[in-house]
Structure 1
Amino acid sequence: MTGRTIATICARGGSKGLPGKNIRPFAGRPLIVQTIEQALACPGVDGVYVSTDDEGIADVARRAGATVPYLRPAELATDQAGKLPVIEHLVAHLEAQGELIARIVDLQPTSPLRESADIAAALRERPEADLVFSVSEAADNPYFNLVEPGPEGWVHLSKGQGTARRQDVPPVYALNGSIYVWQRAALARAAVHGMWSVKAAVYVMPRWKSVDIDTLEDFEYAQWLHERRAGGSHG
């Protein structure tokens, strides 16, 4: 494969659910540093780049070993700005400087419980796919316990009639947001037409690694899981 595989980490300064979460101390280091260190430790990643609108986050990221090529333009730093255009903006900026990029592994800074081995495994998973994204096994299933209202207002199972055996229905997964491995051309297409416009496959992670920090409760739960794992008692 020609071209580099880079990691991108998108981290806005503003957070309504947990202010300052991206640089809030987690296990002794700012939260975003957990993800930067995981990416730097992955042998399949050739460079780690952070897109942020916040000078404080940029400074922390640079000191942790990531490259922050610019502060993100204001129009890409609002609550309404989609993540794919932000990643495409960063990749296009690097290409304009002469970089040849083949794959982009986007890592969410609010998913600190992934490991470098997960990033490496996702990079190996289904190399023919346009996109590989991380998931966990879903706690709920549309064939058994997810319901939705019908046209007349009465609820029904989201899928099927409730008669299927568990072994006869396909597995269902929940996106955990942790890892997205993009082929370069697919990222450009998805930035315009959306994530579901490309051929996608999944990399399955354990549910305990899939915590996405949005609130203080999420943060404290992730801290507890991290400490439990550090104590050698996770299963």
Structure 2
Amino acid sequence: MPAMTTIATICARGGSKGLPGKNILPLAGKPLIAHSIAFALAHPAIDAVYVSTDDADIARIAAQAGAIVPYLRPAELARDDTPKLPVIEHLVAHLEARGDTVLRIVDLQPTSPLRAREDLDACLALSAHADLALTAYDCGFNPYFNLVEQQPDGTVRISKGDGLTTARQAAPRAFGLNGSIYVWRRAALRHAAAHGLWSVAVRAHIMPASRSVDIDTADDFALAEWLYARQHPSA
């Protein structure tokens, strides 16, 4: 395998409590994970696509879709509570140990099949000015306006600010992370894997809500199917 500079990573654990087997459930005629693999393979900036999984069925289907699955993920990186950053770092370090050069990592969430080419293009452009470029969307909630936190006595109060903001338009802009795309500089990924995502400089590309569905439940899957059909009427 020749050396490379930009890779795509897709992390897909076998266990899912909300929707069992979700990463390989069929969406529009092909396994869910295959949509993210095809998306990455189609982009000229990406040199290779790698999948990190602990599941043999996911590994087989990912390989059939054109991704490289260099190993089955070790059990200590496949628990319910395993953070994603150490998993990506583990994969990149494995590639570097065999002699590959990785300068930029495009991490794609396999449960986000509705992203568009323009979303990745925007993140790649932002990555020239940040350690990490990621995607977010206007989720309709704002900690200054309509998000509350429960207090020790059981009451609730506004999450941020003094609670005097009465119009959404007057509140500072806030967005929800949708997890769809992360574009990392190599050194920043290494640092964040040890110190946390917010230890590096981050910029965000704002996606529409219609492309921001993250599939975790059967209802999410049904919504993604409906939106996918609307966005791909000839598929």
Q: Distance in 2 between matches of 1:102 and 1:126?
A: 12
What SS class does the counterpart of residue 129 from structure 2 fall into? coil
Q: Does 1:229 align with 2:231?
A: yes
What SS class does the counterpart of residue 7 from structure 2 fall into? strand
Alignment of 1:73-84 (within 5 A): 73-84=74-85
In structure 2, the CA distance between the partners of 1:187 and 1:9, relative to structure 1 (3 Å rule), is same
Q: Distance in 2 between matches of 1:154 and 1:12?
A: 38
Q: Is the 8 A contact 1:44 1:120 kept in 2?
A: no
User: How far off its partner does 1:43 sit?
Assistant: 1.4
User: How far off its partner does 1:110 sit?
Assistant: 0.3
Q: Which amino acid aligns with 1:197?
A: S
1:103-126 alpha-carbon deviations (Å, 9 max, x no partner): 111100000001233222211124
Aligned to 1:217: 219
Q: Which moved more, 1:159-168 or 1:182-191?
A: 159-168
1:171-206 alpha-carbon deviations (Å, 9 max, x no partner): 100000111111111111111111111111111100
Q: Which moved more, 1:49-58 or 1:141-150?
A: 141-150
Aligned to 1:162: 163
User: How far off its partner does 1:146 sit?
Assistant: 1.2
Q: Which amino acid aligns with 2:215?
A: I
Q: Which amino acid aligns with 2:32?
A: L
Alignment of 1:67-216 (within 5 A): 67-150=68-151, 152-164=153-165, 166-216=168-218
**RMSD of aligned residue pairs (Cα, Å):** 1.7
Q: Is the 8 A contact 1:49 1:69 kept in 2?
A: yes
Q: Which amino acid aligns with 1:108?
A: Q
Q: Distance in 2 between matches of 1:209 and 1:117?
A: 11
Q: Is the 8 A contact 1:7 1:45 kept in 2?
A: yes
TM-score, length of structure 2 as denominator length: 0.93
1:83-119 alpha-carbon deviations (Å, 9 max, x no partner): 1110000000000111111111110000000123322
Q: What runs of 5+ residues in structure 1 fail to find an aligned partner? A: none
User: How far off its partner does 1:229 sit?
Assistant: 1.7
Q: Which amino acid aligns with 1:92?
A: A
Alignment length, in residue pairs?
A: 231
Q: Distance in 2 between matches of 1:154 and 1:18?
A: 33
In structure 2, the CA distance between the partners of 1:127 and 1:188, relative to structure 1 (3 Å rule), is same
Alignment of 1:29-44 (within 5 A): 29-44=30-45
Percent identity over the alignment is 60
